[in-house]
Each structure stands twice: as C-alpha cells, then as structure tokens.
A = this chain, B = another copy of it.
Amino acid sequence: MNATTPAHPQRTIRVALGERSYDIVIGPGLVDEVGPRIAALLPGARAAIVTDENVARLHLERLTLSLDAAGVEHRAIVLPAGETTKSYAGLTRVVEAIIEGRFERGDAVLAFGGGVIGDLAGFASAVVRRGMRFVQMPTSLLAQVDSSVGGKTGINSPQGKNLVGAFHQPTLVLADTALLDTLPPREFAAGYAEIVKYGLIDRPDFFEWLETNREDIFAGTDALIDAIAISCEAKAAVVAADETEQDSRALLNLGHTFGHALEKTVRYEASRLVHGEGVAIGICLAHRFCAARGLAPEEDARRVEAHFAAAGLPTRIQHIAGETPPIADLMDAIAQDKKVTRSALTFILTHGIGKAFIARNVDPADVGDFLAEELLP
C-alpha cells in the first residue's frame, strides 16, 4: 500500500478525464472549506444547494456559513429523504427551482447528501440550460466511494432504477469524512461493501489490507480516509479508461447484476435490503458461481464471504429478511437489468480475488441452476 497510504488526514485524488478532469478531496471538516474552495475554483459563481431534510437538519447551517464567509451566494432546495425523490417529479422540482433562482451555466449545483441527492442533483445540473457546473459533497460512505466518482447521474423510471440520466462530470468532489459520524451503522456497512468491491475487481493487495484494517476503518480512524481515497482512486482509474461504459467500466458492476435483481424482487424496501447489502450478497454469489464452475478457487469465495460477514453484511439470499424471492422473479429481473446488450446476459465474473472479468455470453440456464442450488434449504 506504499504509494496510496499517506500520513496526512486530507487526501486528494485527481480524476483524469482531459478537460473534464477534477479533484476528489477526502478528509474531516471539509464542510467548513466548501465556500473558499468554490470561490477559488469558480470565481463569481453562485451555488444552488440540493439536499434532503435529514442532511439539512444536521449539517446545512455549517455549509451555508462556509459559503457566506466566502461570499458565495446560495439558495437551498431541500427535498424529502429517500429513493422516491429520485423521480421525474423530483427532477422537475429541482430543475424548476434552479431556473427560478436564475442560476446560469457558470453557476454550480451543489449536491449535499447521499447517492439519491447526488444522482438527482447531478442530472439536474446536466440538463438545466444544457449543462451547469456541478460540485458534490457526498454525505454517506456509499456516495463517497461510489456514486460521487465517475459522472453517472440520473433518476429512476417506474420501469427500473437509473434508467434515465446523463454522464456529467463534477467540477469538484469534497468528501467530508467527519459527516460519516452521524451515519447509521447499517448504512456505513453498506457503503463498505463497495470499498471491498474495488479490492476484488483488480486490487488483491487492497483486499488484504482491508482484511487487516477493517476494524480501524469502522472505528473512523485515518484508515477510513485511506480506504475511501484508495476506493476513489480505483474507481477513477476505471472511469478514466472508459468514461461512458462502452467496455471495461462494466467491471464496476461486480456483484451488481445479482444485487440489482435482489433489490428489485424486494421492491426496493430499504427495511429488507439496501443497495450495498444487495451488492455484498451479489458479490458473494458471483464468487460462488465462479467457484462452482471451476473458474475461481473455492478458498477465495470463502474468504470474500467471511470478510463481508465480519463487517456485518449479508452474504446469502436467505439473509434477506422476509420471504425469499422466487427464482423466476430473480431471473426476470436479471434479464431486465440494463447491462444487457442485444439480449445476451452480461455478468462480471471472476478468476479469484482481484481477478474480475466481463463475461458477455452467460447462459441464463446456468444462472438459474446456480440460484436453485443456492436456495436449497
């Protein structure tokens, strides 16, 4: 971990995308720096803050104090918390509020919240006047390590999640790790699942480091800052190689085809399954599927499962509270996942820890058989 393990509590990751390049700054207390940082990067720009009621109650005052101190004019659009906000109605509300505030192309939409707020505000910033500046302050661990890197923005369609959106890169991402102190433990663990994912894709050393440092990360020490920074770096590297997911970016979907299908079959009831938990189960399924087919060592599948379990995450379909989803429903949801090209199933499979690969012609019958074995009582 030499090059990526620093001594300082604030770290900066550069996402290299030519003229769309930007910095992700990670560390405690960044909410107090947002004003001067926006003023320096976008002189004269105003800020349309998009946030939700929970984040606003806890942290909005500090944010606006920082903006005021730096002379950045602002206006806050406060939305109900929760996934239902990420809808056509939510988008319309944010877009119209931004227009009503007479924000211009050079002004910034400032997303201050978790993944829902980031995706929604990012999409709004992509479409108001065909594109405004976008600054992200992710407040959940999941958003800090995943949705705030890479420029994917969007809303849900009644027919499926994230089916409507845009690629729109931010100008700056500020991940204030101190804000994670107010995160419920279950959400922290769910975000951790995405951190583990980066080790499993192509960084076996990072996965090993996580096995050693998991407790420190959960305790919020500097190891947490390192884990977030390495995750952002890993995602940034993948995104830089394939910004609009024509090819290799699909690796980031490790565990996601199964995970999305599970989320769908429980109708996105957060009480039963949140996204990171679906990813944890999905990653374990992908590793067991590959182990059972002789593609990857059984030992690796066991190590992955043990690590998620130690982090308090579910690892099997049966761990989902309530009735187990029927295989037919899961298969139907898998077929509808947007990572489908010309009707062949695309999965991210693995040859073992740190050796994920894109498989473009997975036989649905094999997947069905595997799920049937998994669900044997």
Is A340 close to B, CB under 8 A?
A: yes
**Chain B binder among A153-161, A175-183, A320-328, A361-369:** A153-161
Report the separation of the CA atoms of residues A304 and B88 in the bound assembly, to the nearest whole angstrom: 45
Residues of B within 8 A of A338 (CB): 104, 129
Residues of B within 8 A of A152 (CB): 130
Residues of B within 8 A of A154 (CB): 127, 130
A interface SS class: mixed
> Within residues 254 to 290 of chain A, which ones have a CB less than 8 A from any CB in chain B?
none
Is A171 close to B, CB under 8 A?
A: no
Residues of B within 8 A of A340 (CB): 104
**Chain B binder among A25-33, A56-64, A162-170:** A162-170
| Chain A residues packing against B (C-beta within 8 Å) | 44, 88, 92, 95-96, 99-100, 104-106, 126-131, 152, 154, 157-160, 163-167, 244, 338, 340-342
Q: Are A342 and B104 in contact (CB-based, < 8 A)? A: yes
Report the separation of the CA atoms of residues A128 and B166 in the bound assembly, to the nearest whole angstrom: 8
Report the separation of the CA atoms of residues A163 and B159 in the bound assembly, to the nearest whole angstrom: 26
* Min CB gap A127→B, angstroms: 5
Q: Are B157 and A244 in contact (CB-based, < 8 A)? A: no
Return 28 A-B CB contacts under 8 Å, by A number.
A44-B342, A88-B88, A96-B158, A96-B159, A99-B159, A99-B160, A99-B163, A104-B338, A104-B340, A105-B341, A106-B341, A106-B342, A126-B166, A127-B127, A127-B154, A127-B165, A128-B163, A128-B164, A129-B163, A129-B338, A130-B152, A130-B154, A130-B165, A130-B166, A130-B244, A131-B166, A131-B167, A166-B166
Residues of B within 8 A of A127 (CB): 127, 154, 164-166
Residues of B within 8 A of A244 (CB): 130-131
* Min CB gap A377→B, angstroms: 35
Q: Which residue of B lies closest to A155 (CB)?
A: B127
Q: Which residue of B lies closest to A123 (CB)?
A: B127
Report the separation of the CA atoms of residues A159 and B131 in the bound assembly, to the nearest whole angstrom: 17
Residues of B within 8 A of A167 (CB): 130-131
